[in-house]
Amino acid sequence: MIKFYRILDWWLNRKRRQQPRSGKAKGVLLISSGGLGDTVLFAHVIERFLGCAEKDEPVTVLLRSDAMKMAFLLPQGVQVIGVDFYRLRKDLGYRREITDSFFSAHYRLVVHTDYLRHPDLDEALVAAAMAAEAVAMKPRPWRKYDARLNQNRRLYGRLYDSGAPNMDKVLRWSRFADWLLDMERTPPIAALDPAQLPPAAQEGPEVVIQPFSAVKAKQSPPALYRRIIDALPEGTRVAITGTQRDLEDNPEFKSLLDLAGVEFDASSFAELVPILLSAKLVISVDTALMHLAVAVGAPTLCLASAAYVGEIVPYDPAITPENAHFLYTSMSCEGCLGDCIHPFQNGMFPCVAKLDKNQAVKKAREIMSMTGGHV
């Protein structure tokens, strides 16, 4: 099937190669086209990539439009732009507008920071930018697109071999940044500078629970959260957080709101930060809220699947702060990245269904005890 956007790209890039740009190439473009959670993790390493810029040279960070909700975590002074990847594929007018803007920017350097890349989306932007220099990691193997990803290697003047397919994201990024700058440093701890955070909420809930995931198979059942809430000290204020859409798509969780002291909070990520800072315990599936809670220093218990072991959760010991706690069921197939080979159990990945519920309750009580919440 003909992809009309590929024909458009070919035609536009042919014209661009014949179109001179005025002035000297200037500026660094950092491409980080992962989701919300990836953007939180990228915030831990971005300072290292900023070292690629020359003195007083502007730095622009490209995020997917749906990840812009986490843009507030990036350093002041960098320009952040969002690109709607769905429209980039479906709307040829939008595709031309966006690719034209990248060409017109006349960047000196493009650094594609993603290991997982798409030849028709983020890499199409690299091609359109036609920067003086472009660098990246060798791409993650992807059977569907391997031939085109290999063909696109010509877009980059240098490619870094970042290692095995399954590796902690922050470690991979930090090693890539060190390679770019010819340095060798210890990887960063997954914690934001407290100076960049707002004050803690004065009267926020003591416990924040994020039970929802875009991948429903990663969600533990409401009964587990009920057990945890019942085990908390009497009078503990609990906030179930998520979007209204999360609640509508998961009506079985509404019963938790009938429990004493439990309320629903649909605040944005930025609005949640002061609440997380004052919380004695945050419980979350392995999703963006969990990464944000760990990053701001909240005592966090992640009820994880085994799908992303080795890449996302649990964090590598070298980058794990003391406030981060992970609970998951180890399986021989762990690290599948969500491509589960087993039948689901009650709508859950088997590794989620087998999560030790008694251990989850015990760990929640332990964390509450350590942080001053009496149990």
Out of 3.40.50.10540, 3.40.50.11900, 3.40.50.2000, 3.30.70.120, which CATH number does the structure's domain 195-370 have?
3.40.50.2000
The residue type at 296: V
Q: What is the CATH number of domain 4-181?
A: 3.40.50.2000
- pLDDT mean over 30-34: 98
Q: What is the pLDDT of residues 217-273, one digit of tens each?
A: 999 999 999 999 999 999 999 999 999 999 999 999 999 999 999 999 999 999 999
Give the residue range(s) of CATH 3.40.50.2000 domains in the chain. 4-181, 195-370
Q: Confidence band (pLDDT; 50, 70, 90) for 372?
A: low
Q: What is the pLDDT of residues 307-333, one digit of tens each?
A: 999 999 999 999 999 999 999 999 999
The predicted pLDDT at position 172 comes to 98
The predicted pLDDT at position 373 comes to 56
Q: Determine the angle formed by the axes of helices 122-129 and 92-105, rounding to 10 degrees.
A: 50
pLDDT exceeds cutoff 50 at 374: no
Q: What is the largest CA-CA distance in the chain?
A: 72
Q: Provide DSSP, 249-305.
A: H-GGGGGGGGSTTEEEE---HHHHHHHHHH-SEEEE-SSHHHHHHHHHT--EEEE--
Residues whose CB falls within 8 Å of the CB of residue 161, separated by 6 or more in sequence, listed in order: 137, 138
DSSP 187: P
Q: What is the pLDDT of residues 114-159, one digit of tens each?
A: 999 999 999 999 999 999 999 999 999 999 999 999 999 999 999 9
> Model-level pTM?
0.96
Mean pLDDT of the chain: 96
Residues whose CB falls within 8 Å of the CB of residue 11, separated by 6 or more in sequence, listed in order: none
pLDDT exceeds cutoff 80 at 371: no
- pLDDT mean over 303-309: 95
